[in-house]
Every structure is written in structure tokens, then in C-alpha cells.
Structure 1
Amino acid sequence: MVKSVSNITPFTLLDYPDKTACILWYAGCNMRCLYCYNPEIVFGKGKFTFAEMVSFLETRKGLLDAVVFSGGECLLHKDIVEQIQTVKTMGFLVKVDTNGSKPEVLQNLLEKKVIDYVALDFKSTKESFAAITQSDLFDQFEKSLQLLLNANIPFEVRTTYHSELLAKEELCEMIDYLQYNQYTGTYYIQHFRNSVETIGKLPDSRDRLEHQLPENPNLKIKFR
């Protein structure tokens, strides 16, 4: 059987708002973000079959509220829709972490009404996207954002900030972009964690942005 899951986090209070959850980390990704601190997941092979994950989840019924599908990029896997459906029928809430590169899979999941929450990575402006992600997938990200804006489920948009990769001016452009597209959720800006192994050989990120971005009354911004 295919081993698509690289690892599992058996318990978290941080990854699904106000819910207890576990995280299934799917191996492989179609981006090579320079700041990515999961190179063993991006480049590595899966260690567990989905059947093994189901056996684990059977022991967590009544103990966990939700299951987070993450990666890498979980939506790359050919059986991911069926796997998410299986977890949903087990009674869990389902959250998907995605880079937005597979809008057709996201649309399928939304139409089947088997996901409850999405975290969408907003990597950068279109101009910087290829340099940061080593991919040409910005148009797909835009399609995924539009799907979520028109869907009836909660979702969040998040960006990892490294001072050597994104200028503050670009972040302001990204905030304007979200406002232009009438995003009304919270925009999470995640500070890069220095001193961790990453895909790119990066110097430390120097700036903390909490008090450096202009006040924005129309978009709720949280730093983490």
C-alpha cells in the first residue's frame, strides 16, 4: 500500500481554532519555498499508510474534535479526496492546510462538503512568487483564494515573513490585495523562526513587524 503520510502530530490545540486536533503530515510538495523548515517532509518519502492513520483515528474518537491535513502539500495526493471523506464520515471536523496550488481538488472538496476549515498560504506578491517558492503557481493560488471567498466555510490566510525575502512594502501590497478581493477574515503573519534547517540557505530574519505596518481598520492582522 502507498505510504503517503510522513508523520503525525497526535495532539494539538494550536492548529484548529478552539478545537482539539491531530495533524497528518503528507510527504511531498510542488513548491520549494526557501524558508520552509520541513525539508524532510518536502523531499522525503511517506512512512505510514492511510489505513494506519485510520486505525489511529479510531482510537481518538470522542477525544479529538478535528483532523488537520497538512504537508508538504496534502492536496497533491491522488486519493486525498477519498481519504478526507473517510475521516469526515468518522465524525471529525476536517481542516486542510494548502498552498493553493490545486484549486480543482479544493473545489471538489468544497462541492462534496467534506472540509470545515482551510488555512491558505499567501506566499508573496505575484512578482516575488517564483523567487520565493521556486514555482510558477501564483495563478492557481488566486483561483483557490476565489473559491474560498465564495465558499460557505471559514478560512484563514497566512504568510511567513522573512526579512530577506519579503520587503515590508510587499507585505503592504499583499494586505491591499486581500482588501481588494474583499477578504474579511484574519490575516496571520508568521515570523520566520531563526536557527532552523530550511530548504534555502538563509541568513537570520532581522525584523519584527508588529509595530511597523500601518494601521489597517479594514483587515484584522495577527502576528504569530
Structure 2
Amino acid sequence: MIKPIYSITPFTLLDYPGYPACILWFAGCNMRCLYCYNPDIVLGKGKFSVQDARDFLQSRKSLLQGVVFSGGECTLHPSLILLARIAKELGYRIKVDTNGTMPATLKQLWDEGLLDYVALDFKGTSQKYHDITLSDTFATFVDSLTLLQKNAIPCEVRTTWHADLLSIEDMDAMVTYLEQRGYEGKYFIQYFRNGVKTLSPLPYTNGHLNPIRLSTEKIKVEIRTT
């Protein structure tokens, strides 16, 4: 039996804005982001089957309103569509955390009415994307962002920031890029977590960004601390 899910977080008030939710963490990823603090999930194997997840969601449907599909990279798994159908049948709202490399999967979810919210990772400028992710997937990120914009899919864009990987000038360029693509709303930046196990060892960083200075008339930059 295929087991796509590495672990399950049974309750969160932080990961799905406005809704008590659970998180299904899918094993594996097609990126190797230097700062990734989920190396066990990215490099590990699944421990829970689709049936295990169905049973869990069934048991929690009176307590939760949302389910977050995360990872790793959940959109790599063919079983994501099936699990989204199951979750929707049980009455859950569905949020997908994604690196944007599988826009066709996002489109299928949206077309089937299985997608309520997306958190899209913006890893870096096109010039630094490969150095950060060890993948050549900037074009698919652009396709995913375009899909979200074209269909007015509720979403947020977010970036993990380490001062040695992205300069303040890079962050300015990323905000400008989003604005030029027509993105409006909140742009979340989360600081690199010092002192945790990551895919690649990175130096300690204590840099800080000024969200007010980075913000524009249409894009509000917020620092996410949790």
C-alpha cells in the first residue's frame, strides 16, 4: 500500500487563516532548498496511507474546518487529488502549501472545486532561484502565480529570508516583480530559523527587514514570526 503522507499535525490555528485545521505532510520534494527545516519530510518516506488519512479526517470533521496539504511538496503526489475529494466530501476547506512546480495540479484542484486557498512559495529572484532551491523551476513558479492571478484564487505569497541568500535589494526586486505581475495583497516573509536542522548548514543570521519600506501601494509586506 502506497503511503504518501509522512506525518499529520492534528490541530493548528496558525496555518490556515481563520480556520481551525489539521496538516497532512506529504513526503518528498523536487527541491532541495538550502534553508529547508523539514529535511526528514523532504528526504523521508511516507508513513500514512490514503485510507489512514481518510480515517483521520473522518474522526476530526466535527472539530476542524480546514485541512492543509503541505510537505515536502504535496502536489507531486497523484493521491493529492483523491485526498482533496475525500476532504471536500467531508466538508473541509482545503489549503495547499506549494512551491509552484506543478501548476497543472493546482488547476485540476481548482477546476474540480477542491481548492479554497493557496500559499505559494516565492523562493528568490530568477537569478538566485537555482542557487537557493537547487532546481531550475522558476518558470513553473511563474505559471502557478499566473494561474492564481488569472482565476482570482484566494492565496498568499511567502518567502523565507536568510541574509546570505537574498539581499535587501533582492527583496525589493521580488516585491517589484510581484507588483508587475499584478499581485495585490499581503506578501509574507518568514525569517530563517537559526539553530534548527536544515538540509544544508547555513551560518547564523540576525538580519532584519523593514516591512514598511518594502511595501507598496498594492502589496503589504508582513513579517511572519510563527
> TM-score, structure 2 length as denominator?
0.96
Q: Distance in 2 between matches of 1:185 and 1:89?
A: 30
1:52-91 correspondence to structure 2 within 5 Å: 52-91=52-91
Q: Is the 8 A contact 1:172 1:213 kept in 2?
A: no
Q: Which residue matches 2:6?
A: 6
Q: Which amino acid aligns with 1:142?
A: V
Q: Which residue matches 1:219?
A: 219
* Pair 1:143-2:161 in alignment: no
Q: Which residue matches 1:208?
A: 208
Q: Is the 8 A contact 1:161 1:191 kept in 2?
A: yes
Q: Which amino acid aligns with 1:26?
A: F
Q: Distance in 1 between matches of 2:116 and 2:218?
A: 25
Shift of 1:58: 0.9
Q: Is the 8 A contact 2:9 2:23 kept in 1?
A: yes
Shift of 1:111: 1.0
Shift of 1:148: 0.3
Q: Please, what is the CA RMSD of the aligned residues?
A: 1.2
Q: Which amino acid aligns with 1:39?
A: P
Identity %: 50
Q: Which amino acid aligns with 1:98?
A: T
Q: Distance in 2 between matches of 1:124 and 1:48?
A: 32
> TM-score, structure 1 length as denominator?
0.97
Q: Distance in 2 between matches of 1:42 and 1:211?
A: 30
Mean CA deviation greater in 204-213 or 74-83: 204-213
User: Which 5+ residue runs of structure 1 have no aligned equivalent?
Assistant: none
Distance of aligned partners of 1:214 and 1:221 in 2 relative to their CA distance in 1, 3 Å threshold: closer
Q: Which residue matches 2:168?
A: 168
Distance of aligned partners of 1:69 and 1:211 in 2 relative to their CA distance in 1, 3 Å threshold: closer
Instruction: Count residues in correspondence.
Output: 224
Mean CA deviation greater in 6-15 or 147-156: 147-156
Q: Distance in 2 between matches of 1:211 and 1:144?
A: 25
1:94-133 correspondence to structure 2 within 5 Å: 94-133=94-133
- What is the DSSP-based 3-state SS (H/G/I as helix, E as strand, rest coil) of the residue aligned with 2:28? coil
User: Which 5+ residue runs of structure 2 have no aligned equivalent?
Assistant: none
